[in-house]
Amino acid sequence: MVPSGGYLWWYVDALSDDGRFGLSIIAFVGSVFSPYYAWARRRGPTDPDNFCALNVALYSAGARRWSMTERGAPHNRRDATHFKIGPSQLEWHGDALTIHIDEVGVPIPRRIRGTVKLRTHQLFKFSTALDDAGRHRWGPIAPHARVEVKLQHPEQRWSGHAYLDSNEGDEPLERAFTEWDWSRSAMKDGSTAVLYDVEPGKARGKLLALRFGRHGSVQPFEAPPLQTLPRTAWRIERRMRSDSRVRVTQQLEDTPFYQRAILQSSLLGESVSSFHETLRVPRLVSPLVQAMLPWRMPRRG
């Protein structure tokens, strides 16, 4: 159960073995980016299951797609192994998560249809609070997995390395946070290193530096120094912890409040390629951005 005003999301990212294709998928209950959910909360207690969405982003030359259609409660259904959001759904079978995608991209209405299957090496039950009150929590489910992508629209077939985690909260994000930087890096031994820098540089900030082993171990490590990255086109400040200079190899998303990129840096004595994200909450909740979001996030009620 997700409490009124709360949220729950599952996040997947993946990169093909040859580096030519990438994707991210986020399944939301009580979408934290939804202007409709924010407006409903102002009127009183609100059911998060009435504000679900499947965000799909495809990254490849000539076939970039982005979709995030929000669905009202009559179009959603979920239980322990299935989550249906409109015509798309996620389902667990044994150690595999299969995502059936049937969406339409925005702003250009192009179809995104096909399946993404994650085969997990090791499932984790690790979860930790991101705030002092413990009202916001994060944990990886499968930090190192293999992915098989079979899409009809656009036509793609590829496999590679994937990552799956989850965030949940008992209240809106803006009550606890203003910003964070997050990254995950695949290490040479098959483990995954995660850096979660919540409120970086502030007294109430929290830094998580954790290495998730292939066989279920969770080991903290000493985070390297904070490096400042160039601002995005939307002037978002972002940081990454690294022992060397950090290079942006691909800018995947650049919005007024959120950015995602692939970075090249040094971590734990290795040269690593990392998925990296920055969230700026005050920008997300600003009236101007909230008024713009329906153009990127249509709703089917």
pLDDT score at 45: 95
Relative to beta strand 76-78, strand 65-71 is unpaired
**DSSP reduced 3-state for 255:** coil
Query: Considering all CA atoms of the chain, what is the largest pairwise distance in Å, rounded to the nearest integer?
Result: 52
**CB neighbourhood size of 200 (10 A):** 17
**DSSP reduced 3-state for 283:** helix
Under a CB-based contact definition with an 8 Å cutoff, are residues 295 and 67 in contact? no
pLDDT score at 61: 84
pLDDT score at 91: 98
pLDDT score at 250: 95
Q: Does domain 1-172 have CATH number 2.40.370.10?
A: yes
pTM value is 0.97
Taking phi first (over 0 means left), then psi (-120 to 50 degrees means alpha), and beta for anything else, what does residue 199 get?
left
Q: How far apart are CA 71 and CA 86, in angstroms?
A: 6
Below-50 pLDDT ranges, the chain = none
Closest C-alpha to 253, from 282, 296, 194: 296
Burial class (CB in 10 A: 0-12, 13-18, 19+), 188: exposed
Write the DSSP string, 129-142: ESSTTS-EEEEEEE
Listed by start position, the domains of the chain span 1-172, 177-295
Q: Cite the DSSP H helix spans in 126-245.
A: none
